[in-house]
Structure 1
Amino acid sequence: MLDKETFEAIEAYVLGNMPGPDRERFEERLRHDPALHAEVEQQTEHIRAVELGGLQRALKDIGRQQAASTPGRSWMPYLKVAAAVAVVLCAALWYLDRPTTGERLYAAYFRPDPGLPVAMSATSDHAFQDAMVAYKLEDYAEALAKWNTLLRDRPQNDTLRYYTAMAALGAGDISTATPLLDAVVQERNSPFAGKAAWYRFLAYTHQGDTARANTIHFDPADPHAAEATVIQQSW
């Protein structure tokens, strides 16, 4: 059973009333506490359901008031009904279109790769550096387009494959990133293989492909091993 302090913290987090520093600390707890993560999801569903139920009751009350009022007096009751209908519909659409568990876990744990340092001196690979500048500026679409062009000429280059995948993830294009990450992971000697495995795990989580995600095993010494375990326990 939840203690009062934890329940109030969850409620503040779900309703968006938690101050920034407290929210950051709470989200850090979520990353390492599967039981708390599950409780937050459950309380989110409860709170939204209560909100939706309250809106529906308000709509019925307005309808009863309108039925009891003198006809032909004012448009205000109709405007109230229309507003209430709009709010209920928005709440219902949110409930039906809410993110999946995999999408919520991905959003909670995905942190973009910081990228490589951009050389200040002259470099023989200006195109790659230009794309890296765009990537660091979070212009993922531009970085993706530029690295894709280079990748066509150097399809076996693990650096290009990895950062093209990173740009794709940043742009929200999970399906483009996944095969590129698969290819990097297969290159056991690649310096990007370990990080690629983590991002591939997150990509499969986002897609709800838990069977494939479970085939990815992390060494206990891997910095992402604990987070991967929490995610697996939250499916």
Structure 2
Amino acid sequence: MTVQIVILAMIAAFLGMRLYSVLGRRAEHGEEPVQSRFDANAGPTGGAAPAGAPQAVPAPAARVRDMAPFQPAVENGLREIANADRRFDPAAFVEGARGAYRLILEAFWRGDKDELVHLCDPEVARSFAEAIDARVAAGEVPDNRLVRIEEAVITAASLTGPDARIAVRFVADIAAVTRNADGVVIAGSLNDAVEVRDVWTFRRAVHSGHPDWMLTETDVD
């Protein structure tokens, strides 16, 4: 197994993190939209809707129906979640998940433990820290780049009690390179991206006052 494959496997093995975001939530009338760190267009001067022009919020069923066709079980699950949390928006959730996917991978690759602490449960943060420490001890420095996310599709959704669970399949191109302590490439190539197919499952208590989604499972599609 090449070092490149090991690195990608480590990502799948250790991801189980808490996402401090507002994935899949849209403001109701009279609410200020909350801009998440995962919003693709977020910035210090992000645009706002004109004053006095509130946007109508579609009914939960309409927001589900507006997306691409789902398998019946997935659509039913999304409807149940949307009915339990009327601000839930599947399209916004997917966009937020795409941003989270990039943010998490890049934080892990650059070994940013402080950033990962803010994104992970303590146990998962420790796992990430251990993986980073092992990488450092081996004298390996990843120089990876998420070239593009080709696909982000909801593949499963369910509501069990207060817990909403949504699985998203990501198909992404990653240019993976490993360098030694002297900066010499020992594996991979930035000119040859590898297709990676991951399935991440997010969970959130729909009645919680906090908009936190937790990444509870990762798998390779």
**Normalising by structure 1, what TM-score?**
0.24
- The structure with more strand, counted as a fraction of residues: 2
**Relative contact order, higher structure (CA 8 A, sep 6+):** 2
- Report the structure number with the largest CA radius of gyration: 1
- The structure with more helix, counted as a fraction of residues: 1
